[in-house]
Amino acid sequence: MIEGLLPELDVIRKDFPILERTLADGRPLVYLDSANTSQKPQVVIDTMVDHLERHNANISRAMHLLGAESTEAFENGRDRVASFIGAPSREEVIFTKNASEALNLVANTLAWKGPHQLGEGDEVVITEMEHHSNIVPWQLVTERTGATLRWFGLTDEGELDLSDIDDLLTERTKVVALTWVSNMLGTINPIAEITRRAHQVGALVVVDASQAVPQLPVDLQSFDEESRPDFLAFTGHKVVGPTGVGVLWGRREALESLPPFLGGGEMIETVRMESSTYAPIPHRFEAGTPPIVEVVGLGAAVDYLDHVGMEAIHRHEQAITGYALEGLAGVPGLTVLGPLDPTRRGGAVSFELAGVHPHDVATVLDTRGLAVRAGHHCARPAHARFGVQSSVRMSSYLYTTPAEIDALVEGLHFTRDYFKVS
């Protein structure tokens, strides 16, 4: 018996209709691509259907019963999300279309007049293990404002190289943006410690929590003020919610200090042709009709995770990841990229298999019903750092079983045989 697995794994699996799907040859689906997107439990789908079939209306603007119901369902989603991440205030929760938009919202608005406007001489610090969505926005804004982009490198073990932190974080540093959990290496970064250091030099801290919120119990209120990030971004589709919705949490004063991002309906107070005034947060950053049914679905999703319990989910991930790392270690020619200690990493495990290109590994596994990802997983610089162009990634979630890991390991042995690797 593997310790730490969710006790009622069978029951949980029944909640996810797609897991019952069988593929060609009657093979069951083995979905090991949850870091890419998670599967959805029935309750999320049903909640969305009920909304569309019975309560659909636009929100806030609508004065009628359906409008009131829809508004309540939407704002209830905000309450649910706020409580899920322990946000100090529900108004600090902004809905975006995905994590990428949330990160761009911050980067993009820092180009414009305001207390934190970037300019020549200012520096933005990121890391070499970021997802492209936490690299490109900072490249764009630094290029456009004349600020300088700098970054933390990585150790050979796949951790942040903090040895030059004193050189990187200076009074020129205006923003530090980094991921909490790497989607490629699985590394968990010391967010609180880095935030504290960044705050000492007066920088804003933006945390990409796209891989953290699905896996770790996140409680913003448990951070002391100095080590609590200023912004935190994640995405609905990785927390068993739908696509089309992401979240930007921001400390109230930090959010209020940003100039408007997208302009339009819902984000205004009064519009005159000559000029406009803007609504308070959160609406100030939610221009246009928001992703209503998606927020309703996201509310049901985080409720579902809460119900299973994030502590339990985290233990399950660690148990499965530990079991996977053991199994993978038995495959000749296989090298894992990133930390090897399952208690100090997330559930995404990237690896190379000597003699077989990652694409070919993925295709062979796919014909056996195993869904993994091959490529650079939107983290090309981290791949370049380790001298590889691409890798295979398996990633588990609360519905993953040890038997599925066995199937993966078996599939990798088969792959080696098929390509006659010796």
Partner 1 sequence: MSAELDSLYQEIILDHYKNPHHAGLRDPFGAEVHHVNPTCGDELTLRVQVTDGTVADVSYDAEGCSISQASASVMSDLVIGRSVEEAMEIHHTFLTLMQGKGQVEPDEDVLEDGIAFAGVAKFPARVKCALLSWMAWKDATARAQEDSHV
Report the distance separating Cα 78 and Cα 94, nearest Å. 8
Retrieve residue 329's tokens: 């270690």
Kindly state the number of chain residues that form the binding site for partner 1, as judged by CB under 8 A: 36
| Smallest gap from residue 188 Cβ to a second copy (A) | 21
> Does 367 interact with partner 1 (rule: CB under 8 A)?
yes
* Residue 396: active-site member: no
Among 144, 252, 359, 413, binds partner 1 (CB under 8 A): 359
Which entry of a second copy, ligand PLP, partner 1, none binds 179, CB below 5 to 8 A by partner kind?
Answer: ligand PLP
> Does 337 interact with a second copy (rule: CB under 8 A)?
no
Long-range contacts of 189-197 (CB under 8 A, 24+ apart): 189/127, 189/160, 190/160, 191/227, 191/229, 192/223, 192/227, 192/228, 193/227, 194/160, 194/162, 194/165, 195/223, 195/226, 195/227, 195/228, 195/229, 196/226, 196/227, 197/165, 197/169
Instruction: State the binding string over 71-110 for partner 1 (x if CB under 8 A, else -).
Output: xx--------------------------------------
| Smallest gap from residue 225 Cβ to partner 1 (A) | 24
Among 43, 140, 192, 201, binds a second copy (CB under 8 A): 140
Among 91, 161, 256, 366, binds partner 1 (CB under 8 A): 366
Kindly state the number of chain residues that form the binding site for a second copy, as judged by CB under 8 A: 100
> Does 381 interact with a second copy (rule: CB under 8 A)?
yes
Which entry of a second copy, ligand PLP, partner 1, none binds 208, CB below 5 to 8 A by partner kind?
Answer: ligand PLP
Among 34, 39, 98, 215, binds ligand PLP (CB under 6 A): 98
- Which of 99, 378, 382, 412 is the catalytic position? 378
Half-sphere exposure of residue 321, counting CA atoms within 13 Å on the CB side? 31
Among 3, 10, 53, 167, binds a second copy (CB under 8 A): 53
Report the distance separating Cα 229 and Cα 227, nearest Å. 6
Q: Which residues are CB-contacts of 105 (< 8 A; sequence separation ≥ 6)?
A: 94, 96, 248, 258, 261, 285
CA 109 and chain centroid, separation: 21
Which residues does residue 250 pair with via DSSP β-bridges, in sequence order? 231
| Smallest gap from residue 12 Cβ to a second copy (A) | 16
Among 3, 53, 54, 64, binds partner 1 (CB under 8 A): 64
> Does 71 interact with ligand PLP (rule: CB under 6 A)?
no
Other CB atoms within 10 Å distance of the CB of residue 360: 16
Report which of 193, 188, 207, 210 is spatially closest to residue 98, judged by C-alpha positions: 210
> Does 53 interact with partner 1 (rule: CB under 8 A)?
no
* Chain positions contacting partner 1, by CB under 8 A: 24-25, 27, 60-64, 67-68, 71-72, 266, 268-270, 279, 283, 357-360, 362-364, 366-368, 374-376, 380, 383, 389-390, 418
Q: So which residues are the catalytic ones?
A: 378
* Chain positions contacting ligand PLP, by CB under 6 A: 98-100, 131, 133-134, 179, 183, 208, 210-211, 235, 246, 265, 288-289, 378
